[in-house]
Amino acid sequence: MNLIDDDGNLFGVLNLVDALVVLVVLAVVVAGVAFVLSSGSDDTAPDTATRYATLDLGTQPAYVATLVTEGDTVAPSDAENLTVTDVYATDTDDGRHLYARVRINGTSDDAVTYDGDPLRVGRDLSLTTPDYAADGTITAVDDANPDLPTDETDVLLRTNLSADTADAIRRGDEYRIDGRTVGTVRSVTAYRTGDGRTLAYVGVAYRTYRASDGQRFAGAPIREGVTLPLETAAYAFEGDVVRVGETVPRGVASTRTVRLEIENADPDLADGLRSGMAERVRGDTVAELANVTVEPSTMVLTSQDGNVYRRDHPVEEDVTLTADLRVRETDAGVRFKGAPLRRGRTVTLDFGTVTVEATVVEVR
């Protein structure tokens, strides 16, 4: 059979012109389908951008706060994801106050969006992983920096403790929350108060959160007069901030010789004092007696005829003590056990077996 017969038909069936028309139509259809398929499969991928945000997760139960860890990831879509880069927690009465810094890969158009909404301060954002769920509020959005706005802030705490607790405090002790160090003991200075307690000055370097109104720890601003906690595996207490920016008491440590008097003392008290007795706390000598002088107290008597006589008291005694005291020399004067040391002031000395309150009569 000829490809084209005498009448111009293709294979003797289809007119050649009609065949060309069919071929043209088929080519157009194929081209159209190819265009549609290619346009459908060549969707332009959305632009993405990375931002760092701070989430205030508020107060969370301890069992939730413990799970929030650097490296946790949330991925609501193929193009968007969130990764925790830093965590900060402090104790509260109900659990932990928790902050998280997160790296967010979002969609970039007129603004960077994540999970359908723009990233902006004040937006609520859920941090949900297979292990936990926590809702928070964005307090800051930045182009860079994976770390939370925290700093190390030195403070000096003043507190009254039991002798055992004061003895347990060591330089380098760490205050840890959920495995993270939020405070480190830098110094300890302690004195006996005469009532079985110990006055302690504890220097602590806290990891504080830099809020808009300044450094804060455990919800409290870092300033003199506020009360801050310190807790380790061996002890826990709260102390009043007496100094910010330093971890030691003001002034320079030195020794002063002081003359003290105890008037109208009971003879048993006088008999219990002797040279060489010392007040020692945590292995440090706070005060040591260099000399003890005892004399009968005097009393004033008026006779029946109106004459006034000065006589020795039959029982009570006056005690004069010479003591070497460990003091701090400050611009405002000499201080002993945290209080000014000057004539007329009363100081307490606790020698373990006997405790005395004596009046300062001379500071050398």
The Cα diameter of the chain in Å comes to 175
Residue 86 makes CB contacts below 8 A (sequence gap 6+) with 70, 100, 101, 146, 147, 148
Distance CA 9, CA 310 (A): 158
The pLDDT of residue 137 is above 80: yes
> What secondary structure letter does DSSP report for 4?
B
| 235 in Cβ contact with 164 (< 8 Å) | no
Considering only CA atoms, give the Rg of the chain.
41
The pLDDT of residue 306 is above 80: no
Mean pLDDT of the 313-335 span = 93
Amino acid at position 24, single letter: V
| 337 in Cβ contact with 317 (< 8 Å) | no
Task: Check residue 2 and give its pLDDT.
Answer: 53
End-to-end CA distance of the chain, in Å?
Answer: 138
| 359 in Cβ contact with 318 (< 8 Å) | no
From residue 294, give the alpha-carbon distance in Å to each of 264, 265, 274, 287: 11, 10, 10, 19
Q: Give the confidence band of 180 by pLDDT, cuts at 50, 70, 90.
A: very high
pLDDT digit string, tens, across residues 241-268: 999 999 999 999 999 999 999 999 998 8
Pairs from 272-278 (Cβ < 8 Å, separation ≥ 24): 272/353, 272/354, 273/319, 273/321, 273/351, 273/354, 273/356, 277/351, 277/354, 278/351
Task: Check residue 282 and give its pLDDT.
Answer: 92
pLDDT digit string, tens, across residues 266-295: 988 889 999 999 999 999 999 999 999 999
Task: Check residue 225 and give its pLDDT.
Answer: 97
> What secondary structure letter does DSSP report for 46?
P
pTM: 0.81
The beta-strand segments (E) located in 252-343 are 252-265, 278-281, 284-302, 308-330, 333-336, 339-340
Task: Check residue 239 and give its pLDDT.
Answer: 98
- Going by DSSP bridges, is the β-strand pair 48-60/133-142 parallel, antiparallel, or unpaired? antiparallel
Task: Check residue 43 and give its pLDDT.
Answer: 54
Q: What is the DSSP string of 330-347?
A: ETTEEEETTEE--TT-EE
The phi, psi pair for 98, rounded to 5°, reads -120, 135
Percent of the chain with pLDDT over 70: 88
> What secondary structure letter does DSSP report for 130?
S
